[in-house]
Amino acid sequence: MQGILLQLIVSGIAMGFVYALVAVEYTLIWNACGLLNFSHEKIIMLGGYVFVGTCITALGMSNIMSAILTIILLGIFGALIAVIIFIPLRNQTRLIAVVATVMLGQILNEAAVLVWGPVALMPKNFLSGVFTFMGATVAKSYVYIIIVAVIIIALLELFFKKTKPGKGMTCVSINKTASALMGINVKVSIVITLILSFMICGVLGIITAPIFTVKQQMATMIALKGFCAGVIGGFGSLPAAIAGGLVLGIVENIAGVVLPAVFKDAVAFALMILFMLFSPKGLVGVRDHVRNLQENRKQKKGKVNI
């Protein structure tokens, strides 16, 4: 029993980090240009196909080299999409950019079949096998997902808190005009954001390839649930996105045991709707609410003393 619980928690945390990375990846773009990247699901898919289909199978590269090349290629693709779609459309009506990103997703989806064929691809000897400890059997891929995600989140934190371009991007997300008035080049900042976001998508495509296999719909669920994670955490904040992802991953996995298994996927969406109804600001809203309650209590105590 203890083993199963541990197993559930580890895989829950791993999936939580996957959702968190998805939430981080689109929150970055939302903060930089106020647009949602509706093609992100297909960018993750692209990462998977480039990794397995092109680098490993066609070019015969090693797993590590393939992963590195995939991430670099996705970064270049991100810069390209920034110049073609996000920069020209950022000041247009939102709908135009929405349609543009949806269409980008469709193009990638169909292109994937043409280039890599309709059969699902599976990386061989990549993050396969299991760890066994304390009576729990945990797939290695889950453990690697946790490690990779923690490294990425730590690097992002360093980038945004310690480097000048990172701090500049934080300011762009707060106020674009004021940032431009500081001499920050907002367009360059959008390009950097897209590169980062697409690289994270690439990583997601790689690390989820052994779990979902590489196919057109491989990222549909995690992209949607990543969106739920953002809403549950509190839209537009990176730490909130990570918290939302973890909460969602663990709750969903435990619910999979308590409830009939078919309801597992519904839990994420039910949770999101509950948050939208009762705490539209997400966990951040809950935290603020608790803080207000505490302060009210303090003030009341103060009055009694007077």
Partner 1 sequence: MLQVDNIVTYYGNACALHGVSFRIEENEIVSIIGANGAGKSTLMKSIMGVVRPRSGAITYQGENITNLPTHKIVGKGIVYVPEGRDVFATVSVQDNLEMGAYSRKFSQKELNGLYEEMYTMFPRLKERRKQMAGTLSGGEQQMLAIARGLMSKPEIIMFDEPSLGLAPIIVDEVFDRIKYINQELGISVVLVEQNAYMALTASNRCYVMENGKITKEGKSSDLISDDSIKEAYLGM
Among 164, 258, 260, 303, binds partner 1 (CB under 8 A): 164
Helix, strand, coil percentages (3-state) for the chain, rounded to 5, are 80, 5, 15
Residues 98-157 binding partner 1 (CB under 8 A) are none
Binding of partner 1 at residue 83 (CB under 8 A)? no
Binding of partner 1 at residue 87 (CB under 8 A)? no
Least distance in Å: CB of 149 to partner 1? 24
Stretch that binds partner 1, among 29-37, 102-110, 161-169, 246-254 (CB under 8 A): 161-169
Measure the CA–CA gap between 289 and 284, rounded to whole angstroms.
9
Least distance in Å: CB of 186 to partner 1? 7
Task: Outline where 56-185 has alpha helix (H).
Answer: 63-81, 87-89, 94-116, 140-162, 164-174, 176-181
Least distance in Å: CB of 27 to partner 1? 15
| Contact (CB, 8 A) for 192 and 10 | no
Which residue, 150 or 182, has its beta carbon nearer to partner 1?
A: 182
Among 8, 171, 221, 286, binds partner 1 (CB under 8 A): 171
Measure the CA–CA gap between 22 and 145, rounded to whole angstroms.
13
Stretch that binds partner 1, among 41-49, 78-86, 141-149, 172-180 (CB under 8 A): 172-180
Per-residue burial over 184-216, b = 16 or more CB atoms within 10 Å of its CB, e = otherwise: bebeebbbbbbbbbbbbbbbbbbbbbbbbebbb
Measure the CA–CA gap between 297 and 291, rounded to whole angstroms.
10
Which residue, 79 or 171, has its beta carbon nearer to partner 1?
A: 171
Cα-Cα-Cα-Cα dihedral of 78, 224, 68, 86, to 10°? 10
Name residue, tokens 């959702």: 19
Measure the CA–CA gap between 243 and 232, rounded to whole angstroms.
8
Binding of partner 1 at residue 31 (CB under 8 A)? no
Say what angle helices 164-174 and 140-162 make with each other, to 10 degrees.
80
Question: How many of the chain's residues bind partner 1 (CB under 8 A)?
Answer: 17
Least distance in Å: CB of 158 to partner 1? 15
Among 48, 168, 234, 282, binds partner 1 (CB under 8 A): 168
Which residue, 167 or 264, has its beta carbon nearer to partner 1?
A: 167
With a CB cutoff of 8 Å and minimum separation 6, the contacts of 257 are 4, 8
Residues 174-213 binding partner 1 (CB under 8 A) are 174-175, 177-186
Least distance in Å: CB of 267 to partner 1? 32
Which residue, 105 or 168, has its beta carbon nearer to partner 1?
A: 168
Binding of partner 1 at residue 163 (CB under 8 A)? no
Cβ-based neighbour number of residue 170 at 10 Å: 16
Where does this chain bind partner 1 (CB under 8 A)?
Answer: 164, 167-168, 170-171, 174-175, 177-186
